[in-house]
Amino acid sequence: MMKKYFQTAFLLLLIGLVITACEKDIPVDEDGLLITDRTECAVVNFELLGSDFVTVRSKVPVIDTVAQTVQVEVLFGTDLKNVYPQFTLSSDCKLDPKIIGKVDLSDLANPKVYTVISGNRKIRKAYQLIIKYQ
């Protein structure tokens, strides 16, 4: 009889442990990234690399946080079908869509839009990536 009590108590303890282990104290978003209190939401810097991972910019990029644009001038002959954009964002921000490899930016008439999402995940700012040739 006593043994049964012990078994039940042990099982309950285990269940309790499992449940508490899964409990989340820290808020994370769908990507497993920390959600913070920060409200900053901006592009801080921008870089564009070619297929050889060397910059294809001819000038420093112009980032307008009011108009929400990133203007880049690229070198003559840049193959914009195979480039790697790199955004530097304010602390705790993330980018949507994610850049996971090379990107085709050759459609100059229709600039691509990248959305910056703030650290608290409540503010979203869509930046236009405007590219022109040297």
Partner 1 sequence: MMKSILNSGKISVLLAILLILGLASCEQKEYEIPEPVSGLSNDGIKRTLGPNIVGLPIEFAYAMALPKSKGKLLSAKVEASIAGAAGTYLEHRSFYTSASGQDVPVLVGSPSVKDGNATKVTFTVDTNAATLRYFYVVPEEARGKTVSFTFSATSSDGGSVSYQLGPYTISKMDIKRTIAVSNNNNAYISIEDMAVYTAATAAPVAAKIDLVYLFRTTPSTFSHALVSPGSDPVYLPGVVLPAGVNRKSKLRKVFNLQDRNLAQLQFGIYVDDKDFQEINLSDAPDYAIGLRAEAGVWVETQDKKYRAYIYLNSVNANGSAVISILRYTL
Residue 107 beta carbon to partner 1: minimum distance, rounded to whole angstroms = 14
Residue 88 interacting with partner 1 (CB under 8 A): no
Which of 52, 100, 101, 110 is close enough to bind partner 1 by CB under 8 A?
A: 52
Expressed in angstroms, the distance from the first to the final Cα of the chain is: 86
CA distance 28 to 118: 13
Which of 2, 21, 22, 54 is close enough to bind partner 1 by CB under 8 A?
A: 54
Q: Which range touches partner 1 (CB under 8 A), out of 24-32, 50-58, 65-73, 88-96?
A: 50-58
How many residues are recorded in the chain?
134
**Tokens linked to 62:** 């112009």
Residue 49 beta carbon to partner 1: minimum distance, rounded to whole angstroms = 10
Residue 105 beta carbon to partner 1: minimum distance, rounded to whole angstroms = 13
Q: Is the CB of residue 56 less than 8 Å from the CB of residue 24?
A: no
Q: Which range touches partner 1 (CB under 8 A), out of 2-10, 27-35, 49-57, 92-100?
A: 49-57
Whose Cβ is closer to partner 1: residue 39's or residue 134's?
134
CA distance 88 to 8: 55
Residue 121 CA to chain centroid, in angstroms? 11
Task: Give how far Cα 106 sits from Cα of 30, 70, 98, Å.
Answer: 31, 16, 18
Residue 101 interacting with partner 1 (CB under 8 A): no
Residues that bind partner 1 (CB under 8 A): 50-54, 58, 75-77, 79, 81-82, 104, 134
